[in-house]
Amino acid sequence: MKIPSLLKIVCFSSLCLLISASTPSPNWMTDYDQAVAKAQQADKAILMVFSGSDWCRPCIQLEQEVFETDTFKALSNAHFVLLKVDFPRAKKHQLPKEQAHKNAQLAEKYNPQGAFPLSVMLSKDLVVLGKINGYRARSGEAYLGKIMSFLKEG
């Protein structure tokens, strides 16, 4: 009896690995200029996410419940360039001074209220297509639907 159960676990684990291997992880960029160049070259929009990765609970939930899903990975690879604008607080997570300065400049332009998380969809020509302020736990499908609606409207 234990062998079939073990066989089921091995098969399930293998299937999970196969599925995760078939959907590449999203490639989050941190440099705005590089993200813009990539978006223009690939004719894609930019999803810029302002995050407090080590202190903002909704930011962490958004990462886990949306950005780490296979659905998001597939959508992002097909439709947009990802740009993470992070503001960590813990000393061990601090960004290099130059990156922190660039992130502060982006916040002044696109997130002057200091909302976390804040997702901003930009066209390849840097027109704001839409914003999502905040994230409610377990609303991943609604979040993905809103992101995709920005692409349809823009």
What ranges do the domains of the chain cover? 24-153
CATH of 24-153 among 3.30.70.2470, 3.40.30.10, 1.10.490.10, 3.50.50.60: 3.40.30.10
Question: Structure tokens of 59?
Answer: 């930011």
- Asked if residue 120 lies in contact with residue 85, where contact means CB atoms within 8 angstroms, the answer is no
pTM above 0.75, yes or no: yes
- Asked if residue 53 lies in contact with residue 127, where contact means CB atoms within 8 angstroms, the answer is no
pLDDT per position in the chain (154 positions), as tens? 455 544 444 444 344 444 444 445 678 999 999 999 999 999 999 999 999 999 999 999 999 999 999 999 999 999 999 999 999 999 999 999 999 999 999 999 999 999 999 999 999 999 999 999 999 888 888 999 999 999 887 6
| Residues in the chain, overall count | 154
Residues 6+ apart with CB under 8 A from 15: none
Helices assigned H by DSSP within the chain: 2-22, 32-42, 57-62, 70-79, 97-110, 140-153
Tokens 């690939």 found at: 42
